[in-house]
Amino acid sequence: MGATEFICPSGNKIPIGLCLENCIGSERCMFLPTLRAVAKSLDRKIKEPTVTELLCGTRETYLKKTTDYAVNPVQQLYALHGSAVHTINEGFTDGNILSEERLADDITSGKFDLYGQIISYGDNTLGDYKITSSYKLMRALGYYKVDVPTGEVYKTGLKKGQPKTKKEWRTDGVRHILDWAIQLNYYRILLEQRGFEVKDMKIQAFCRDFSLRIAAERNITSPLYIININKISDYWIKLYMETKAKRLKRALETKELPPVCTVKERWKNRKCLDYCAVADNCEYGKKLKEITLNAA
């Protein structure tokens, strides 16, 4: 079970192995080594649920573990870029830095990116790489716009006499980083269980669309940001992850489809429509796609 097929640019589906042996089109959609790398990234050998899997909707993770599904290799490239960033940085660690170590407890397992002197000497920082969009980065940084009076009024039109305003950025908004915070805090717990002190937790976020105008319109002015992650109660983190793990385990044992993912887990249905690899195996996802297609 798992990703067994590639979706071609034409929309046709082909078993991954056959695609790598011989393209069914006039020419490949990307270089063969890249397709091989994508295929390898999809071949997960870890049976027990990981931290990142538990952060997804239980139904999504259940379907990925129990059904065959097809993926568009182009949509896997960002994940591949993330793996490449990890590999590049891993080659420049030293004796004061631990990198890409997988730790486990009786609930789940996780592989942290970096731990040690990654910001300054003796800091014992837990670090994680993220390659993300300017939109998600804007929300993670707490950026938002407000209307500020200009001191002028409209002299004509429907708004005559009303004050004019202009948009200004504020950087003190809510930081939408809950999943990142849960992930790093669980890695922190796994490290501390083994006697490692974690003083700080930080995300090094790369903006993949920094060169586009839309990034500047979202007040993203740098291709890289360091984002601090605060400590969350060990009790709450363990309770949350244990609950998610039990739900998944129960579903796998009973072969009973879990409830529809929450609104947050579905990204308000955006994930179901464009980013969930198993949406076609989910009654909710299929119906949502049909409604959207008929409304177009």
Which structure tokens are listed for 140?
């993670």
As a whole number of angstroms, the distance between CA 241 and CA 55 comes to: 8
Is residue 129 a part of any domain in this protein? Answer: yes
Neighbours of 119 (CB within 10 A): 15
- The residue among 26 and 261 whose pLDDT is bigger is 261
Mean pLDDT value of segment 15-26:
93
Which structure tokens are listed for 12?
């046709």
Write out the residue range of the structural domain in which residue 74 sits: 44-259
Is residue 15 a part of any domain in this protein? Answer: no
Is residue 131 a part of any domain in this protein? Answer: yes
pLDDT tens-digit readout, 220-233: 999 999 999 999 99
Q: How many distinct structural domains can be found in the chain?
A: 1
Q: Contact at 8 Å (CB) between 115 and 98?
A: yes
Is residue 30 a part of any domain in this protein? Answer: no
Is residue 273 a part of any domain in this protein? Answer: no
Is residue 174 a part of any domain in this protein? Answer: yes
Mean pLDDT value of segment 265-283:
94
What's the CATH code of the domain at 221? 3.90.320
Half-sphere exposure of 263 (CA within 13 A, CB side): 1
Is residue 284 a part of any domain in this protein? Answer: no
The residue type found at 142 is G
Q: Contact at 8 Å (CB) between 2 and 44?
A: yes
**pTM, whole model, 2 decimals?**
0.90
pLDDT tens-digit readout, 115-167: 999 987 778 999 999 999 999 999 999 999 999 999 999 999 999 999 999 99
Whole-number pLDDT of residue 94: 83
Is residue 19 a part of any domain in this protein? Answer: no
pLDDT tens-digit readout, 49-66: 899 999 999 999 999 999
